[in-house]
Amino acid sequence: MSKVQLGIRETSTQYDPEDVRIGLTLQALMYREEITEEGFLIRRKVTHNEMAQALVVNGKRGVHRTYVSQLCQGAKHLNNDMLYAIARYLNVNPKAIKQPDQELAFAA
């Protein structure tokens, strides 16, 4: 009897460790500081949907929310165009995403 079952596709959940590390770094950097109407400074997490709608990549505005989610999980590779778009949106140096300083990137 064959080990292959019809209708079931085997998928690998093994992600590239570098992509996973970058995803964790993105999650740590996805915060915004805002001033409330009362004048208080608050720090809140940016949602994947919010980031996806705001990104400008190759002159086009917006990417799909699931793509941002997959980047944060380490399931997708972060290419340079997306790296620079995310860095612009988060107002950080691209090196902070690709080669983070451990103390700064993960101090959330």
Say how many residues make up the chain: 108
Residues spanned by the domain of 51 = 17-99
Helix (H) or strand (E) holding 56: strand 56-57
Flag whether 75 is in a domain: yes
87: number of CA atoms within 13 Å, CB side? 17
Flag whether 11 is in a domain: no
Residue 78: both structure tokens together:
């972060």
pLDDT at 36: 87
Residue 106 pLDDT > 80: no
d(CA 42, CA 63): 27
Residue 61: both structure tokens together:
């505005």
CA distances from 54 to 11, 44, 84 (A): 31, 16, 13
* pLDDT, tens only, 29-60: 998 888 889 999 998 899 999 999 999 888 88
Of 78 and 33, the structure prediction assigns the larger pLDDT to: 78
pLDDT at 102: 54
Residue 104 pLDDT > 70: no
Flag whether 3 is in a domain: no
- pTM passes above 0.75: no
Give how many domains the chain has, as a whole number: 1
Helical H segments across the chain, by residue range: 17-29, 48-54, 65-73, 80-90, 94-98, 102-105
Check which CATH number belongs to the domain holding 60 and give it: 1.10.260.40
End-to-end CA distance of the chain: 52
Flag whether 106 is in a domain: no
**pLDDT level of residue 108 (50, 70, 90 thresholds):** very low
pLDDT at 70: 94
